[in-house]
Amino acid sequence: MTEEAQSVLLVDDEDMIRTLFETILHNSLPECKVGAAANGKEAVEAFKEFQYRVILMDLHMPIMTGEQAFKEIESYCKETDQEMPSVIFCTGFAPPDTVQDIIAKSQTHCLLSKPVTGDVIVEQIKSRLQAAG
């Protein structure tokens, strides 16, 4: 598998959550390249530099929300003829209808409710990496 096929971008505005998810992934998927971003704007910039296959993204963040970042990444992929990554939205709040619509239209994307266990995160990421591989 290529490096891109085994790559995950973690996007959350809380340092502790990013560190926890990063530790879980390094322990469970040591072969996986893991990147991190603190908000949606950083996520878009990180994706433009390296085409991550899976993005685990919080919905509610300052500067740019997860939903806004999704739309920007989707537009970038269409403009550059690149494959859209699988996006796993993660939130402790009720997701907006627009996010529910994104998930309903494609099995590539999903929504996890916080608190979420490391096992669930790893399972969701593994299945999406295998599908991308």
The CATH number given to whatever domain includes residue 12 is 3.40.50.2300
Its domain, for residue 49, covers 4-132
Number of domains in the chain: 1
Helices (H), 9-117: 15-28, 40-49, 66-80, 97-105
Do 55 and 112 form a contact (C-beta atoms < 8 A)?
no
Kindly give the confidence (pLDDT) of every residue in the chain, 133 residues in length, as a single tens digit, with 9 standing for 90 and above: 455 669 999 999 999 999 999 999 999 999 999 999 999 999 999 999 999 999 999 999 999 999 999 999 999 999 999 999 999 999 988 899 999 999 999 989 999 998 999 999 999 999 999 887 6
Q: What is the DSSP string of 43-63?
A: HHHHHHHS--SEEEEES--SS
Q: Enter the pTM of the model.
A: 0.94
